[in-house]
Amino acid sequence: MDFKKTILWAVFSMSGLMLYNNWQVHEGKPSLFGGTQVSAPVGAEKVTSSNKADLPVQIVGNTAPPAEPVVSTASIENTEKFVLQNDVLSLEISSNGASVIDAKLLKELTADQKPVEIFQHTPTHTYIARSGLIALGANNLPNHTSIFKLVQSGKDGSGRPFLVLASEKDGVKLEKTFILNPGSYVVDVGHRVTQAKPSAAPLVLYTEIVRDASQEAKIGPFGGAFSASTFTGPAIYTDGDKFKKVPFTDIEKNKFTPPAQISAGHPAWVAMVQHYFASAWIPGDKLVREIYSGKIDNNLYRVGIQTQLAGLEPGVVFVEKARLFVGPQEERVLETIAPGLELLKDYGYLTILAKPIFWLLENIHTYVGNWGWSIILLTILIKLVFFPLSAASYKSMARMKEVQPRLTAMKEQYKGEPQKLNQAMMEMYRKEKINPLGGCLPVVIQIPVFISLYWVLLSSVEMRGAPWILWIHDLSIPDPYYILPLVMAVSMFVQTKLNPTPPDPIQAKVMMYMPIVFSVMFFFFPAGLVLYWVVNNLLSIAQQWQINRMFGKKHTK
């Protein structure tokens, strides 16, 4: 009995510690288990202008040291800007480099009902997407430091808004075409390259995302501790290495080793990830590519892909198409855009459990239309799956409650003789067919499910701003009035009363204080997660009460 309660207490304590540690990391604080902090707080370091000698070093097809680039003296702030917009996305493109320097998600709103802003270029925050040309021995090509002029804008034959910007240097002309499809967060970006004179070195097209190491300026739609980012930083995907997150600290310390050169026909992309949202460059796969990363300046980093435009003859026009995704991490949308892109939605180490849980939750939502009721139905289904184990556990606890007076008598009889007490208890368990650890197994098994659901609710942008009923207007943030955590505390207290009281007074007090400890901890959890736990507790109480009642009737006969 003592051993069983000790195991239960250890399991609950470790689970609470793990979840609290996640909260600490999400809040930008160091992990309880060591390690470095991935991201600096907003405004910790002033972000310097990215308009400096920061062209990427050519790595694809590189056989000699690159020449020093000639840098434009024009700044992004002082150049012309163009807006490209559809019904869900508004982009601002600078004439300096034809770089995307601002992106607003028109249907994703902040607490003050303004569109969520992904790309930004301000004195304190830099997050932009850019592209250009480099070549060995050529130091003056159209790139993200060049001034681009507007060639054409409007809507094409399909009604899609588009922009065409062009720059020409040293006999090389680069035209960038940006096209937005209705209802899409994907920008089709065409790079049209014309070379007027022979060149000894092949041209290389780079597409990169530049960002400082700050966390998001706004935490969640309406604030709240658990709306903080699960991971903020670069991510890459290749056919061979699959999905990999790249902390800014790894780039800072040169610990990141890019994957091998990507052959033609194999998919690859680079991205920047933050809580709920992401951006990604997805180039075409017809040419050889190479992924790169690096530190540009103090608190400013890049991740990108270089594509070698081999065999470009003078007068020949070459068009290389790429796609730029800027939007929410909606799993079903991401998986239709590019292979592996749905992995941007980070479920942590329990992805193998979290993905099917979200799949089931999403399918329930298609019928119910409310994420709160979907969570309740999901809880009932999970409870039904674990019903045989739970029933066995509650039967074991009911039997333990029956023999509780005999255990107390044994402790008095063998006081000061722990070995004889242990033998007597084991003999009684054997005769009564009681497994002293029978109540632990369902708890242990359900903990990974609980943590997986925690990641599902924390990572799913679908939950962002999703209401349930009455005072719960957003399931992704804590209950504003702490009603659900208090209900959970009461339900845990009732469960404690239904369980057999530990013979040891200290353990008995610990079990009594657990509801208080957990309710305080759950004050900071998303309301959706607390809702799951409350419903699970209520179902457990009903099941345990019925089993206790059945055993009580059996005992009186």
Give per-residue pLDDT as tens, 379-405: 888 888 777 766 666 666 666 666 666
Higher pLDDT, 503 or 337: 337
User: What average pLDDT does range 23-47 have in this prediction?
Assistant: 42
Amino acid at 467: P
Q: How many angstroms separate the CA atoms of 109 and 435, rounded?
A: 54
Quick one: how far is CA 472 from the chain centroid?
Answer: 23
User: What average pLDDT does range 313-321 have in this prediction?
Assistant: 83
Give one DSSP letter per residue of 190-217, joined into a string: EEEEEE-S--SS-EEEEEEEEE-SBPPS
For the cut 70, the answer to whether the pLDDT of residue 172 exceeds it is yes
User: φ and ψ at 46, to 5 degrees?
Assistant: -70, 130
Q: How many angstroms separate the CA atoms of 69 and 293, rounded?
A: 18
Contact status, residue 361 vs residue 518, Cβ threshold 8 Å: no
89-128 confidence digits (pLDDT tens): 999 999 999 999 999 999 988 878 899 999 999 888 999 9
Residue 336 neighbours by CB distance under 10 Å: 10
pLDDT at 522: 74
Question: What angle, rounded to 10 degrees, do the helices at 441-459 and 527-556 form?
Answer: 160
Range with the poorest average pLDDT among 82-86, 264-268, 291-295, 535-539: 535-539
Range with the poorest average pLDDT among 144-158, 207-221, 310-324: 207-221
422-459 confidence digits (pLDDT tens): 777 777 767 666 665 555 666 677 778 878 877 888 88
62-95 confidence digits (pLDDT tens): 644 333 333 343 466 667 999 999 999 999 999 9
User: 368: Cβ–Cβ under 8 A, 6 or more apart, which residues?
Assistant: 374, 377
List domains and CATH numbers for the chain. Answer: 2-26+355-556 (no CATH), 76-346 (2.70.98.90)
For the cut 60, the answer to whether the pLDDT of residue 345 exceeds it is yes
**Per-residue three-class SS string for 506-523:** HHHHHHHHHHHHHHHHHC
Q: How many angstroms separate the CA atoms of 375 and 290, rounded?
A: 43
- Cα–Cα distances (Å) from 307 to 211, 238, 291, in that order, read 21, 14, 9
Instruction: For residue 369, count CB atoms less than 10 angstroms from its CB and return exposed for 0-12, middle for 13-18, buried for 19 or more.
Output: exposed
Residues making up the chain, counted from first to last: 557
Higher pLDDT, 15 or 102: 102
Higher pLDDT, 23 or 545: 545
Contact status, residue 345 vs residue 275, Cβ threshold 8 Å: no
Q: How many angstroms separate the CA atoms of 145 and 130, rounded?
A: 10
For the cut 60, the answer to whether the pLDDT of residue 553 exceeds it is no
In eight-state DSSP terms, residue 309 is: E
User: What average pLDDT does range 306-328 have in this prediction?
Assistant: 86
User: What average pLDDT does range 507-527 have in this prediction?
Assistant: 67
For the cut 60, the answer to whether the pLDDT of residue 23 exceeds it is no
